[in-house]
Chain A
């Protein structure tokens, strides 16, 4: 549970090697001996993921693309106590997925189906503990899919819709949901890609999430100006949008 100074005690990151997920953990005000549970496919990579000093690390095996994996990771994560924060960070970009059916399925399994399955299971636990926060890393691509990566856009749109519904469903249960919609973020996922306008860094995302959590927000765009820019993009007429090189 968050302590009297607002510090977090037990944090679960779904997609424990995710750069954004770890940047969120890094930005958080954690209790001195907080426990961070990293859930993911590659236990060696989870064990090597950078975490703040003094934090206790627990690595949990969880394969988002394997249906039914949610139950085991939920049991393991809630065994040691209440969860204060769940960061849904698992995600792959899947460049070229619109021409590769196998890759497209993997993008949807990872970014959407696997996370939704895990969040449905975890939400039940959070609901009964009557406190907790879920941070869902969506994307501006969920609002206006781009021609170059619309499978990714579709996957994030599904996750985003789920997160909004989850927030409403959990309203007044003591559990909160924060939907995070970053624009282009420099990092491993986008390495080698031309930066889009208003690009940010994982650290920017972490800071924005921390601020939004402290202020009790339900949605945060990174950078903040995207909140106004993104809706405008949805009004760009299709003939123009499809010609834009985005």
Chain B
């Protein structure tokens, strides 16, 4: 038994943690108890997606990935993005989707159908997968491909269709060694959104950081690869470790001050050349930065709304600060077409993510936002969520009915369970 928690550390959970190699995976299926089994990656999901209280939380041992010269990598599910980059970059290829951390595993990335700062142009990871190898609840091994219902249920399926054992992922030519980043500092949310919309069409990578305390003023960053074509090793530096602290250092006061200082950073009105790590994974520079929120942890609220409901971005920022919350650096992204994943989060529109320490009354504010996001045809990201209600989940993910049909076929005995599944009623129960 181990006490595990999500990256946000709001809930902790006692699970049987086991580490197995992909070859022993079938034996692990047989040993699942009454509380079921879940494969956990690196625990980068914020809420309860990677927890299975009272049951088994299995970790798959990483395997060495193989890069093929035509730009495809074959890797085990337990392989981290860091290992993937170490393998692909020296051969002149990079990963097509880079989420905000390099620590996540390939299996976790597939289960959450992750996206990066290039969603508008390149889509989520589903769009880059040629094959996903799955061991289902009945012990059958599937090699699923785009267009298969098993593929559509597994990519974004939160690990509940079976054990993702590995995948074949198409790569992106590493056009340069570094990134040319242009920043624009803008005084209010309307201008930030207008500039981000342009930036996301113009440059492959685009993102905006918004200050919820000051009408959503923010910094729009866009980036493209630059320098000579990349054929070099990947060695991200990491020297800082956040200490455990007895109280959250993020409070309404410090969040306001930090956001203001961030906005004023001199680099935020210039074009500069930077590394992959500092553009894509700035937070990875401090290990266990999540501990800075103290023992009570924090929530990340990320939602997407269609263009017609873009005002919900501003409403959310306003309501979160008005309710005495401490929204830390809001991250705004532009999303393009949805993938075929039946439970995938990204869909065309605007995505906002904010980190929030749990303050009194926060639950009610977020419930109100959930209702409006759902009514607008938007959704809350399951990989970040720790508190959505089962009813609104059904509204946000209307294809869950199709997903359940496939899921029940793949896991007829209901072996795969997670706390997210228990909370939202993802899996159909007899």
Q: Which residues of A contact B (CB under 8 A)?
A: 1-7, 9, 29, 31-33, 81-82, 128-131, 173-174
A173 contacts which chain B residues (CB < 8 A)? 14
Given contacts A1-B48, A4-B11, A5-B358, contact A130 B35 (CB under 8 A): yes
CB B405 to nearest CB in A, in angstroms, measures: 22
Please give 17 more A-B residue pairs, beta carbons under 8 A apart, in addition to A4-B299, A5-B358, A130-B14: A1-B423, A4-B48, A4-B387, A5-B363, A5-B386, A7-B387, A9-B423, A29-B363, A31-B387, A31-B389, A32-B389, A33-B390, A81-B422, A129-B53, A131-B53, A131-B54, A174-B13
Interface of A is mostly: loop
Q: Which residue of A lies closest to B8 (CB)?
A: A4
Q: In the docked arrangement, what's the CA distance between A126 and B367, Å?
A: 28
Given contacts A7-B387, A128-B35, contact A1 B422 (CB under 8 A): yes
22 chain-A/chain-B pairs, Cβ below 8 angstroms: A1-B11, A1-B419, A2-B11, A3-B363, A5-B299, A5-B358, A5-B362, A5-B363, A5-B386, A6-B358, A7-B387, A32-B389, A33-B389, A82-B422, A129-B53, A130-B13, A130-B35, A131-B13, A131-B53, A173-B14, A174-B14, A174-B54
CB B41 to nearest CB in A, in angstroms, measures: 19
Per the CB 8 Å criterion, the residue count for chain B at the interface is 29
A6 contacts which chain B residues (CB < 8 A)? 10, 358
The proximity string for B residues 1-31 relative to A, scoring 1 for CB distances below 8 Å and 0 otherwise, is 1000000101101110000000000000000
Q: Which residues of B contact A (CB under 8 A)?
A: 1, 8, 10-11, 13-15, 34-35, 47-48, 53-54, 297, 299, 358, 362-363, 366-367, 385-387, 389-391, 419, 422-423
On whether the beta carbons of A5 and B54 are closer than 8 Å, the reply is no
Given contacts A4-B10, A4-B386, A5-B358, contact A129 B35 (CB under 8 A): yes
Given contacts A129-B53, A174-B14, contact A3 B386 (CB under 8 A): yes
CB A199 to nearest CB in B, in angstroms, measures: 29
On whether the beta carbons of A5 and B48 are closer than 8 Å, the reply is no
Please tell me which one of the listed residues A4, A31, A81, A131 contacts residue B47 in the complex, with CB atoms under 8 A apart.
Answer: A4
On whether the beta carbons of B387 and A5 are closer than 8 Å, the reply is yes
A128 contacts which chain B residues (CB < 8 A)? 34-35, 54
Q: Which residue of A lies closest to B299 (CB)?
A: A4
CB B418 to nearest CB in A, in angstroms, measures: 11
Please tell me which one of the listed residues A3, A81, A82, A131 contacts residue B387 in the complex, with CB atoms under 8 A apart.
Answer: A3
Q: In the docked arrangement, what's the CA distance between A22 and B252, Å?
A: 35
Interface of B is mostly: loop
B14 contacts which chain A residues (CB < 8 A)? 130-131, 173-174
A29 contacts which chain B residues (CB < 8 A)? 363
On whether the beta carbons of B54 and A130 are closer than 8 Å, the reply is yes
B390 contacts which chain A residues (CB < 8 A)? 33
Q: Which residue of A lies closest to B370 (CB)?
A: A32
Q: In the docked arrangement, what's the CA distance between A1 and B8, Å?
A: 16
Q: In the docked arrangement, what's the CA distance between A75 and B363, Å?
A: 31
Q: Which residue of A lies closest to B366 (CB)?
A: A5
B422 contacts which chain A residues (CB < 8 A)? 1, 81-82
Q: In the docked arrangement, what's the CA distance between A128 and B48, Å?
A: 18
On whether the beta carbons of A3 and B391 are closer than 8 Å, the reply is no
On whether the beta carbons of B389 and A4 are closer than 8 Å, the reply is no
CB A124 to nearest CB in B, in angstroms, measures: 12
Q: Which residue of B lies closest to A175 (CB)?
A: B14
With most chain B CB atoms within 10 A of its CB, the pick from A1, A5, A173 is A5
Q: In the docked arrangement, what's the CA distance between A128 and B53, Å?
A: 9
Q: In the docked arrangement, what's the CA distance between A131 and B35, Å?
A: 12
Q: In the docked arrangement, what's the CA distance between A47 and B391, Å?
A: 24
CB A6 to nearest CB in B, in angstroms, measures: 7
A82 contacts which chain B residues (CB < 8 A)? 422
B53 contacts which chain A residues (CB < 8 A)? 1, 129-131, 174
Q: In the docked arrangement, what's the CA distance between A29 and B360, Å?
A: 10
